[in-house]
Amino acid sequence: MKDKTQYALLLFEIFQSFCSIIPFGHNITIIIFTIITIIIISLVIILILIIFIILVVIVIILIFVLVIIIIIVIFIFIIIIIIIIIIIIIIIIFFIVVIFFIIIFFFIILFIFCSNNFLFPRRLIFQKLFLARLYTIPLSSGQNLMCVI
């Protein structure tokens, strides 16, 4: 570091001795070094501004990317919720259809075993469905009582 400082001072002395040949050379030295200092300070300020602008652009790009990622995540979340709702609706419809068919089957069986017409061979259907024997007991009112054994 001392070598660089001594080298700069040597250059300054050479430049000052060169400017002393010219009348009012000392003033020219001050003016030239002032201009060089202003140029260096301007370059440093421009460099700082360029770095700041680059950082601002990087931050803006990162914010834009973050917003896009958030929008994509929200969109995926909404799609997952819609799929779950559709699956729940399908399951509910399936259970409603199954319960509906169970009720229809129950009413068909009830109609077969409780009807007074003899279009259906009740005894045979009951024996095949439930593997049991069905006996009818005549009552005094003219009705028949069915018993399962």
The residues spanned by each domain of the chain are 16-89, 121-149
In sequence order, the 6+-apart residues with CB closer than 8 A to the CB of 130 are 148
In sequence order, the 6+-apart residues with CB closer than 8 A to the CB of 84 are none
Q: What is the pLDDT of residue 92?
A: 94
CA distance 4 to 1: 5
Q: What is the pLDDT of residue 111?
A: 67
In sequence order, the 6+-apart residues with CB closer than 8 A to the CB of 121 are none
Q: Beta-carbon neighbour count of residue 24 at 10 Å?
A: 10
pLDDT along the chain (149 residues), means of 10: 67 67 60 82 92 96 96 96 96 92 79 56 55 58 58
Q: Residue 64 is encoded by which pair of tokens?
A: 């834009």
Q: What is the pLDDT of residue 23?
A: 56
